[in-house]
Chains A and B, each alone.
Chain A
Amino acid sequence: QSVLTQPPSVSGAPGQRVTISCTGSSSNIGAGYDVHWYQQLPGTAPKLLIYYNSNRPSGVPDRFSGSKSGTSASLAITGLQAEDEADYYCQSYDYSLSGVVFGGGTKLTVL
């Protein structure tokens, strides 16, 4: 059971928009800690996708965006492409656990 809750899977057709939620609690996201997102393509290492809730590292397309509100965060992907098929993880910090916490991951399928 992950501290941050994500849907196990989401799907969408090419060109569509999908969102992935990340729900935390008052000891992590709700306490004001930022949320970061990672993309893990099949068989590869995770890659930083979004940092500090809504910032994109250089090279990440603007089709990817993030937001945070209250005890939750979300990742939105617009103009879905086949290459976006991957696992997506949210990450934050939890003060009651005194450590970094990840969501359980969401598998995105492009139909």
Chain B
Amino acid sequence: EVQVVESGGGLVQPGRSLRLSCTASGFTFGDYDLSWVRQAPGKGLEWVGLIKSKTYGGTAEYAASVKGRFTISRDDSKSVAYLQMNSLKTEDTAVYYCTRQLVVAATYYFDYWGLGTLVTVSS
């Protein structure tokens, strides 16, 4: 059974950093791209960024709202992906979901989602 589990959320002050983890099981982790998607309280879904599989370079791409502040990485030996969030702002407050991503012809979609982890940025 495919499972994706996020961890590392919590309360953090503006300007500080936080690292989220995404631990996966039930599939060959290294074969898949992964994305992070967030949802602010009472709001819709917002794509944060993705990391490609090593087969496709292992590179990361980011939404404009987080580019330069957030970094996505992966450790295929541990089946874990990370979201390093620096210079956090109050508007980064959200539930952060890790998703398994499928891609064909530059079209991405997300077939498995974790339960999410809440990040609250507040003084």
Residues of A at the B interface (CB closer than 8 Å) are 2, 33-34, 36, 38, 44-48, 51-52, 57, 87, 89, 91-93, 97-105
Contact = CB atoms under 8 A, between A and B. Distances in A.
Interface stretch (B8-16, B18-26, B39-47, B72-80): B39-47
Contact of A47 (B50, B113, B116): B113
Contacts of A48: 109-113
- What secondary structure prevails in chain A residues at the interface with B? strand
B44 A92 contact: no
Interface in B66-95: none
A87 B114 CA distance: 17
A101 B45 CA distance: 9
Interface in B2-38: 35, 37
5 contacts: A2-B44, A51-B102, A91-B109, A92-B107, A93-B106
B31 to A, nearest CB: 18
Contacts of B110: 36, 38, 46, 48, 91
B44 A104 contact: yes
A89 B44 contact: yes
A90 B106 CA distance: 17
B111 A34 contact: no
